[in-house]
Structure 1
Amino acid sequence: MAHWAIDYLMAWGLVIAVVWGAAAWAGSDAGWSGMPGWLADRLWWPPIAITALGLLVSAVAPVWRYRVHRWEISADVVYTRTGWFSREWLLVPVGRIQTVDTGQGPLERLLGLATLEINTASHAGSSLVAGLPVDLATRLAEQLAHRAHTLGDDAT
């Protein structure tokens, strides 16, 4: 969950910095000289509102995301559930798995996490499981690759 929280804070931090910078430029002498007086008096309202929204989203979204995103691996099926408002359940038969990859972005590497990507030939059959500890992601990738090879389903 920390991974998602930091992701949201970084993205909103960039938006907030741009909005505050634009407001500071527009309010300076070098900024927009033809600004009406009523707008100049309210110039700082949008940055304050966007900062509040960004902090709210950064606090609520990771918790919500943690509550709705699930995954499970059984002997013959990989199950994932995603979605914010509408839910998507994806069942990937282990015998149909073509590749199992683990990946780490810079933030995941810093936090010791990894993402497990399970690919099939179907465009809808691929699945991501994010935020796993590196050793667990590596172990699951090896187990799934071995099971997929053992159960090898000729999907032609």
Structure 2
Amino acid sequence: MTNPRLRPPEHRVAPRAVLMWTLSGLAGTAVVTALLAGAAVLIRLGGWAWLPGPVVEYAWWPAACYAVYGAVRSLVAPRWRYRVHRWEVTDDVVYTRAGWISRAWQLVPVSRIQTVDHTQGWLERMFGLATVEVRTASHAGSSTIEGLRADVARELSERLAVRAGELRDDAT
């Protein structure tokens, strides 16, 4: 018996996912930066005499640092994520690879699938994307594929549900 080698799954997510992830990251960065900037304004103008002078004088630094960090993260992470995140479904297994620093390879036997969820958040709908969640009895055996084209996600979830029904065994 030969040991099969772990290879990258065949399919990438939809290229539009990069733009969606970028905009989502930038929006989150803008919110947190605005909150930090608001706190800096309150500290500087609020007469917080009990704070040490340097704290008041440099109160804007956290907002500036987070804005730079968030912008870089929002521009780099989605592109890296697109290059790394992959998925593949065969007759017997759902195979995913995720993670942009630490990599997670996950193989979910189709015979163990209990539910297949096809979801679309409002931002995903704007970009014509969707998420497929494959769940087993074990949380560790569950898998999520984000950033799929909506039609691919719908077809995939239907195909997995039918195939899991065909392979149903007593997994308890």
Return the TM-score normalized by structure 2: 0.82
1:98 has 2:114 as partner: yes
Equivalent position of 1:59 in the other structure: 75
For structure 2, the residue ranges without an aligned partner over 5 or more in a row are: 1-17
Equivalent position of 1:7 in the other structure: 24
Q: CA offset at residue 48 of structure 1? A: 1.6
1:73 has 2:57 as partner: no
1:130 has 2:146 as partner: yes
Deviations for 1:28-71, whole angstroms, at most 9, x for unmatched residues?
Answer: 1x342344444444333332222111111111111122222211
1:142 to 148, 151, 158: 158
Alignment of 1:83-122 (within 5 A): 83-122=99-138
Return the alpha-carbon distance in structure 1 between the equivalents of residues 138 and 56 of structure 2. 55
Equivalent position of 1:17 in the other structure: 34
Return the alpha-carbon distance in structure 1 between the equivalents of residues 127 and 153 of structure 2. 14
Q: Aligned partner of 1:6: which letter?
A: L
Q: CA offset at residue 12 of structure 1? A: 1.3
For the aligned residue pairs, the C-alpha RMSD in angstroms reads 1.7
Deviations for 1:54-90, whole angstroms, at most 9, x for unmatched residues?
Answer: 1111111111222222111112110011223222111
Deviations for 1:79-118, whole angstroms, at most 9, x for unmatched residues?
Answer: 0112232221111111111111101112112222111011
Return the alpha-carbon distance in structure 2 between the equivalents of residues 123 and 40 of structure 1. 47
Q: For the structure 1 residues 31 and 103, does the alpha-carbon distance in structure 2 shift closer, same or farther, using more than 3 Å as the test?
A: farther
Q: Does the residue aligned with 1:124 lie in a helix, a strand or coil?
A: helix
Equivalent position of 2:14 in the other structure: none
Return the alpha-carbon distance in structure 2 between the equivalents of residues 31 and 77 of structure 1. 62
Aligned residue-pair number: 155
Q: Does the residue aligned with 1:3 lie in a helix, a strand or coil?
A: helix
Return the alpha-carbon distance in structure 2 between the equivalents of residues 100 and 43 of structure 1. 48
Bigger relative CO (Cα 8 Å, ≥ 6 apart): 2
Return the alpha-carbon distance in structure 2 between the equivalents of residues 18 and 98 of structure 1. 42
Q: Percent identity?
A: 53
Return the TM-score normalized by structure 1: 0.89
